[in-house]
C-alpha cells in the first residue's frame, strides 16, 4: 500500500480510537467531545503535576481523608472551591455512566481535580449494589469502571468505594484477583497493607444529620489519638433531600476552616497518600 495512504489510514484510526475511548455518551455534542479529548490527553501528559500536591507523610501524626461519593457537580463547584483556598485535597468516587450528566461533574472537572492532586477512584460502572450480584456481574461493574478510569489517565483505579456501602464475599474475590489496594464502605476501610490494622481508619459519613461540631470533635480525636479519619460527603448544597445527602455549604465551610486551623497537627491525605502512609 502507498505510504502516504497508510499514514492517512493510521491517522484516522488513531483519532477514531480516541473518540471511542473518550466519549460513548456525548458523541453529538462536539464541544463537550473536544473538551473530553483535551482532558484525557492532559491527564496522561501532565500526570507529573500531581507531585506538587504530594503531602510530606508523617507516620507520627493522625490524618484526615475527605472522600466525595458519586461525583456530584456541587463537590466541584462548592467543595473544591472551598478546599482549594487552603490547598486541601480530596477524593472523588466516580460512577462512569453518570459523568457529564445533569448534576454530575464533567470529565474536564474530574481531570482538573486529578491534576490538582485529588484521587479519582472506582465507584463501579453504574452504582449497582454489589451484594445482590453474581461474580460475573460484579466483575463487569468493578473492572468496567477500572478500565474506564485507566484509559482516561486516572491512576487510582485500584481503590474501590462500594455503592451504598454494600458488598459480598464475591466482591473481595474480585478485588484480590485484580490486585486492588483498598476498598471503602460506609463504615469500614479494607486494605491489603500489612501495616494497617483493622479499625485503624475511622469513618464518618457527613449526612445532614451530622453537625459540623461533631466533625471538628472527630478531627480533635484524630489529632490527639494520632488516628486516621475518613469523612464521606455526597453533596455540598443547601436545602434538604430525603436521602440526607445535602451537607450545607456553611457547615462544610466550618469543617474546612477548622482543618486549615489545625494543619500543623493533622495531615490531610488523598487515599493514595493514606495507603502510602501504611506501607
Helix (H) or strand (E) holding 136: helix 135-150
- Taking the C-alpha atoms of residue 76 and residue 109, their distance in angstroms, rounded to an integer, is 7
40 vs 145 by CB, closer to Zn ion: 145
Q: Output the smallest distance, CB 186 to Zn ion, in A.
A: 9
- The C-alpha torsion from 245 through 251 and 252 to 253, rounded to 10°, is 160
Interface residue with Zn ion, options 69, 158, 208, 273 (CB under 5 A): 69
Residues in the chain: 279
72 vs 278 by CB, closer to Zn ion: 72
- Taking the C-alpha atoms of residue 51 and residue 9, their distance in angstroms, rounded to an integer, is 38
Q: Output the smallest distance, CB 245 to Zn ion, in A.
A: 9
Q: Which region among 70-78, 101-109, 131-139, 260-268 touches Zn ion (by CB under 5 A)?
A: 70-78
- Interaction between residue 158 and Zn ion (CB under 5 A): no
Interface residue with Zn ion, options 23, 40, 65, 70 (CB under 5 A): 70
Asked if residue 212 lies in contact with residue 254, where contact means CB atoms within 8 angstroms, the answer is yes
Question: Total residues at the site for Zn ion (CB under 5 A)?
Answer: 2
115 vs 174 by CB, closer to Zn ion: 174
Q: How many CB atoms lie within 10 A of CB 165?
A: 18
Q: Which region among 63-71, 128-136, 170-178, 265-273 touches Zn ion (by CB under 5 A)?
A: 63-71
- DSSP output for 171-185: HHHHHHHTT--EEE-
Q: Which region among 61-69, 137-145, 248-256, 264-272 touches Zn ion (by CB under 5 A)?
A: 61-69
Q: Which region among 30-38, 62-70, 74-82, 171-179 touches Zn ion (by CB under 5 A)?
A: 62-70
Asked if residue 274 lies in contact with residue 63, where contact means CB atoms within 8 angstroms, the answer is yes
Q: Which 100-129 positions form the footprint of Zn ion (CB under 5 A)?
A: none
Asked if residue 117 lies in contact with residue 54, where contact means CB atoms within 8 angstroms, the answer is yes
Q: What backbone torsions phi and psi does residue 119 show, to the nearest 5 degrees? A: -90, 135
74 vs 267 by CB, closer to Zn ion: 74
Q: Which region among 15-23, 67-75, 187-195, 268-276 touches Zn ion (by CB under 5 A)?
A: 67-75
Q: Which three cell numbers stand for residue 82?
A: 472551598
Query: Which residues on adjacent β-strands are paired with residue 189?
Result: 184
223 vs 237 by CB, closer to Zn ion: 237
Q: Output the smallest distance, CB 34 to Zn ion, in A.
A: 29
Using CB under 5 A, list all residues that contact Zn ion.
69-70
Amino acid at each position: 500500500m502507498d505510504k502516504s495512504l497508510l499514514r492517512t489510514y493510521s491517522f484516522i484510526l488513531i483519532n477514531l480510537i480516541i473518540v471511542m475511548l473518550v466519549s460513548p455518551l456525548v458523541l453529538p455534542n462536539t464541544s463537550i467531545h473536544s473538551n473530553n479529548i483535551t482532558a484525557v490527553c492532559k491527564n496522561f501528559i501532565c500526570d507529573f503535576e500531581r507531585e506538587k500536591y504530594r503531602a510530606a507523610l508523617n507516620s507520627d501524626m493522625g490524618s484526615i481523608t475527605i472522600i466525595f461519593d458519586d461525583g456530584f457537580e456541587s463537590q466541584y463547584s462548592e467543595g473544591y472551591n472551598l478546599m482549594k483556598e487552603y490547598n486541601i485535597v480530596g477524593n472523588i468516587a466516580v460512577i462512569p455512566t453518570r459523568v457529564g450528566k445533569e448534576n454530575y461533574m464533567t470529565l474536564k472537572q474530574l481531570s482538573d481535580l486529578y491534576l490538582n492532586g485529588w484521587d479519582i477512584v472506582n465507584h463501579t460502572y453504574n452504582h449497582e449494589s454489589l451484594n445482590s450480584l453474581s461474580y460475573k456481574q460484579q466483575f463487569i461493574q468493578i473492572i468496567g469502571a477500572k478500565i474506564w478510569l485507566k484509559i482516561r489517565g486516572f491512576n487510582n483505579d485500584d481503590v474501590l468505594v462500594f455503592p451504598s456501602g454494600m458488598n459480598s464475599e464475591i466482591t473481595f474475590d474480585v478485588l484480590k484477583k485484580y490486585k486492588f489496594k483498598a476498598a471503602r464502605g460506609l463504615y469500614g476501610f479494607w486494605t491489603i497493607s500489612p501495616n494497617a490494622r483493622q479499625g485503624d481508619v475511622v469513618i464518618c459519613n457527613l449526612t445532614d444529620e451530622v453537625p459540623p461540631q461533631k466533625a471538628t470533635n472527630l478531627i480533635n480525636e484524630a489529632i490527639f489519638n494520632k488516628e486516621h479519619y475518613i469523612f464521606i460527603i455526597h453533596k455540598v448544597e443547601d436545602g434538604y433531600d430525603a436521602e440526607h445527602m445535602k451537607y450545607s455549604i456553611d457547615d462544610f465551610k466550618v469543617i474546612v476552616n477548622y482543618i486549615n486551623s489545625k494543619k500543623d497537627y493533622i495531615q490531610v491525605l488523598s487515599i493514595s497518600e493514606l495507603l502510602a502512609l501504611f506501607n
